[in-house]
Structure 1
Amino acid sequence: MRRMWPLTVRGTGALALAVGCFILAGELGVVELMYIGVLLLAMLAAAASSLYVVRRSDRVTRSLSPDVVAVGRNALVTARIGVRTALASPPGVWRDTVPDSLGGRAEGVFPALGSGLRAGERVVEISYEVTGMRRGVHSVGPLSVTSTDPFGLARRSTVFGEQTKITVAPAVTDLPPLTDYAGEAGGTLHTTTNQLGQGADNLVARPYVSGDSMRRIHWRASAHQGSLMVRQEEQESTPEATVVLDRGVVRWAAEALRAPGADPGFEIAVAAAVSALTRLTHDGYAVEVVDTDGTELAERIDGGDMTEVERVVNQFATLTARRGDQLPQLAHLFAGVMTGPVVLVVGRFDPADADAVAPIPHHSTMPILFAVAPRGDALERAVEAGWHVARIDPDADLSVAWASAAERGVSDVLG
């Protein structure tokens, strides 16, 4: 932090006047001017010394409400500053360091404090609002408090080095339910709610055998057993859904690999994935969130478990792209499987990619494809294969894209 000049405008003027008095006293031989100069310097020294005697602050802690802020949402930051002061201190100005990824003005008036010889440490509480501007984990701080002496001649800035991590989660858009489109999604909230909990209780994991779909791999059971295990087919008809987010960096800007929030295209894709997850879970589907190579991005979420959805959304605050490109092999994950809605979110989408994922709609009751950067006639080919498609960009309205794709089968949403 830039070092602050210790004198105010008034104090700087007093210093200049003292120097002028010394010069004139030597030139004119007026001894009284020398006394005035010494008096001014003594006042400045006393003013500066009082600031170091008056206040000694030891710590600062911050809290956030809510604990995680979403992109585009506001949160209240409350900072508590522990202060020890031997003498009464005048008011000052506080300023907290807020990064560009968190919008907000963090400054205000620091209150005057009375003598604290017997009171010990006192806590000054300040608060301000921040807005989530970019997904990721960001640091707030350090905080500085600038005080002046009672005569306004000198000032001192105290910097508290503590920083607080603030998590900015992806924005979740409220999407309309697929049950509005009768016969398309393969299940309703009413029938699903009556079955919630049955599938999870009767789920049996068995060893993987050749020919089993990779999508049926039970990763948690595999970790316990030390070998691949697959989910045994449930006896109940609990509706299932799958959200696929293509993280292959070849389909995004290179920045998407380095840090969350760096590529606007990847950000709208993440927002689309978590919004679809929220909608489908709310409607009673048991939802899996996977990458195009079959890697689970979150454990299977039971229908209606919105607490788990919130945890996954917060977990996606640090999600980035990865090396590789597995989209052409995605269809193998659904081979021999019939499932409910499948939501595929991709970046660059070529005609060859449309041909590669063409088999998937035959295994889904509602295949929806979001493409951030479609090329050529890729979307048209996807529609011919049975996909309900939408083109989205960072300024797109996801709820309109979702509704249009589900209702008409093709949508080109740009704003």
Structure 2
Amino acid sequence: MSRLWPLTLRGTGALALAAACFVFAAQLGIDELVYFGLLLLGVLAASLASLYLTRRADSVSRTVSSELAVVGRTSTVDVRVGVRTVLPTPPGRWSDTLPSTLAGDPVGVFPALESGLRGDERTVRLSYPVTGAHRGVAPIGPLRITTTDPFGLARRSHVLRAGTPVTVTPPLVDLPALSGHAGATGGILQATTEQLGQGSDNLIARRYMPGDSMRRIHWRATAHRDELMVRQEEQESTPEATVVFARGVARYSADAAREPGADAAFEAAVTVCVSAAVSLAREGYTVEVIDADGTPLIDPLDSAGAGEARELAAMLIAFSSVVARPDDHLGELAALFTGVTTGPVVVVAGRFDPADARAIAPIAHHSSLPALFAVAPQGDALDRAADAGWRCGAFDPDADLVAAWSAIADRGASRVG
């Protein structure tokens, strides 16, 4: 039966029987059939009145079991519906509307309610599991509740249009530490000392201040200046790492610029970016994630932020809505590192050809660990990049990212997946 039709199959049959009673009463002259038909119409009217005059759903709210839904992981949506009813009502059916970013079967039985003499609002709790289908931000809703009268003759569909926005973030893969491979990358807090020369006697000295440790007195400088001098304090510096996301639409399909989740290769690249950034931050780096033109995609992520749920959530939320851009700047990336020496540089791209390998070749000499991930390498592009000093990994959307990440420990081109 159509949702717009207020009667159930049983109620429709009762209405048809009432109409038949009026027809046969006129043809056969049986007055009792008129009374019976009127009785059926009265019962139908009472059934409709019991639904539309005594019960209504006024409010709906939803919460998701996890702070953020993640692609490929299951979360639970808890729904609270505020209902007012004077008469007792039988069970009904409910269904929620999911966006394309979530997958699930949000339907179930709406429980029966006892009478509420004053019609006070009561809360009905529902729940159902959902799985992240692809990243993005979209609302759940509206919620449709269908109830019937005690006789099962009439039904009412009540639509609560209040939506609940849900953010589905890209999956985060736990990657092994790069420093555990051949040649430590230096991703730990390092103590550096400002020096005038190479010898310890050339350390910068300053005047003694109350509270300075006597062990830090610089005796040679003290004798030279005829006043107490102390060695300059050692300073901790956190090495930097950079993740470059080449997201020009020409490196993916046209769908990558349309909406999140539309292109599998682009989604794989997003997963590499967030996973690499977190992995490097946990190794002790301050990580910048930038576009190929140098535009920051997130705030810098440091070793402390990688372990805090708030910092991780902010990064994942930022990447939940990233799409490909119409222009591409990978050929200009080398200019950003001119005259700069930095820690690991991880470049993530879709299509990667020999011209791209030539363009980024100079960066390898400015990085302690230049790493390249390409979803769709062309020809001998990875071999050329490896010859320039890059550690390369090729992977497809279904490949094992952990294996591709581990492969960059070996110089040269490595295909995974």
Query: For this structure pair, what is the TM-score category when the shorter chain's length is used for normalisation?
Result: 0.7 to 0.9
**Is residue 60 of structure 2 the alignment partner of residue 60 of structure 1?**
yes
Give the equivalent residue in structure 2 for 1:278. 278
Give the equivalent residue in structure 1 for 2:135. 135
Once the two structures are TM-superposed, the CA of residue 51 in structure 1 deviates from its matched residue by 0.7
What amino acid sits opposite 2:364 in the alignment?
Answer: P
Please give the alpha-carbon distance, in whole angstroms, between the structure 2 residues aligned to 1:100 and 1:30.
59
Once the two structures are TM-superposed, the CA of residue 99 in structure 1 deviates from its matched residue by 2.1
Alignment deviations for residues 135-185 of structure 1 (CA, whole Å, 9 cap, x no partner): 110111000111100011111111101011000111111111112203142
Give the equivalent residue in structure 1 for 2:405. 402
Please give the alpha-carbon distance, in whole angstroms, between the structure 1 residues aligned to 2:8 and 2:72.
39
What amino acid sits opposite 1:152 in the alignment?
Answer: G
Give the equivalent residue in structure 2 for 1:105. 105
Please give the alpha-carbon distance, in whole angstroms, between the structure 2 residues aligned to 1:285 and 1:126.
44
What amino acid sits opposite 2:179 in the alignment?
Answer: T
Per the normalisation by structure 2, the TM-score is 0.85
Give the equivalent residue in structure 1 for 2:342. 339
Please give the alpha-carbon distance, in whole angstroms, between the structure 2 residues aligned to 1:100 and 1:251.
25
Secondary structure in 1 aligned to 2:375? strand
Alignment deviations for residues 211-230 of structure 1 (CA, whole Å, 9 cap, x no partner): xxxxxxxxxxxxxxxxxxxx
Unaligned segments of structure 1, at least 5 residues = 197-233
Give the equivalent residue in structure 2 for 1:379. 382
Give the equivalent residue in structure 2 for 1:70. 70
2:396 to 393, 396, 400: 393
Once the two structures are TM-superposed, the CA of residue 68 in structure 1 deviates from its matched residue by 1.1
CA contact (8 A) 1:147 1:157 kept: yes
Moved more, 299-308 or 333-342: 299-308
What amino acid sits opposite 1:169 in the alignment?
Answer: T
**Is residue 322 of structure 2 the alignment partner of residue 319 of structure 1?**
yes
What amino acid sits opposite 1:350 in the alignment?
Answer: D
Please give the alpha-carbon distance, in whole angstroms, between the structure 1 residues aligned to 2:137 and 2:292.
25
Shift in alpha-carbon separation, 1:244–1:81, aligned structure 2, 3 A: same
Please give the alpha-carbon distance, in whole angstroms, between the structure 2 residues aligned to 1:351 and 1:69.
38
CA contact (8 A) 2:392 2:408 kept: yes
Please give the alpha-carbon distance, in whole angstroms, between the structure 1 residues aligned to 2:161 and 2:331.
49
CA contact (8 A) 1:54 1:88 kept: no
Please give the alpha-carbon distance, in whole angstroms, between the structure 1 residues aligned to 2:385 and 2:107.
52
Please give the alpha-carbon distance, in whole angstroms, between the structure 2 residues aligned to 1:235 and 1:291.
31
Aligned-residue CA RMSD (Å): 1.9
Secondary structure in 2 aligned to 1:340? coil
CA contact (8 A) 2:248 2:324 kept: yes
Please give the alpha-carbon distance, in whole angstroms, between the structure 1 residues aligned to 2:304 and 2:388.
31
Please give the alpha-carbon distance, in whole angstroms, between the structure 2 residues aligned to 1:41 and 1:314.
57
Counterpart mapping for 1:196-345 below 5 A: 236-306=236-306, 307=308, 308-345=311-348
Moved more, 356-365 or 32-41: 32-41
What amino acid sits opposite 2:381 in the alignment?
Answer: A
Once the two structures are TM-superposed, the CA of residue 95 in structure 1 deviates from its matched residue by 0.8
Shift in alpha-carbon separation, 1:184–1:358, aligned structure 2, 3 A: farther
Please give the alpha-carbon distance, in whole angstroms, between the structure 2 residues aligned to 1:50 and 1:394.
55
Counterpart mapping for 1:20-39 below 5 A: 20-39=20-39
Counterpart mapping for 1:146-225 below 5 A: 146-187=146-187, 191-192=188-189
What amino acid sits opposite 2:413 in the alignment?
Answer: V
Once the two structures are TM-superposed, the CA of residue 93 in structure 1 deviates from its matched residue by 1.0
Unaligned segments of structure 2, at least 5 residues = 193-233
Identity of aligned residues (%): 56
Moved more, 396-405 or 269-278: 396-405
Please give the alpha-carbon distance, in whole angstroms, between the structure 2 residues aligned to 1:68 and 1:237.
33
Please give the alpha-carbon distance, in whole angstroms, between the structure 2 residues aligned to 1:69 and 1:278.
18
Secondary structure in 2 aligned to 1:59? strand
Give the equivalent residue in structure 1 for 2:50. 50
CA contact (8 A) 1:96 1:144 kept: yes
Per the normalisation by structure 1, the TM-score is 0.85
Once the two structures are TM-superposed, the CA of residue 284 in structure 1 deviates from its matched residue by 1.1
CA contact (8 A) 1:244 1:344 kept: yes
Once the two structures are TM-superposed, the CA of residue 328 in structure 1 deviates from its matched residue by 0.5
CA contact (8 A) 1:243 1:289 kept: yes
What amino acid sits opposite 1:284 in the alignment?
Answer: G
Alignment deviations for residues 14-53 of structure 1 (CA, whole Å, 9 cap, x no partner): 1222222222222322222222222112111111111112
Once the two structures are TM-superposed, the CA of residue 267 in structure 1 deviates from its matched residue by 0.9
CA contact (8 A) 2:78 2:127 kept: yes
Once the two structures are TM-superposed, the CA of residue 236 in structure 1 deviates from its matched residue by 4.4
Secondary structure in 1 aligned to 2:4? coil
CA contact (8 A) 1:63 1:79 kept: yes
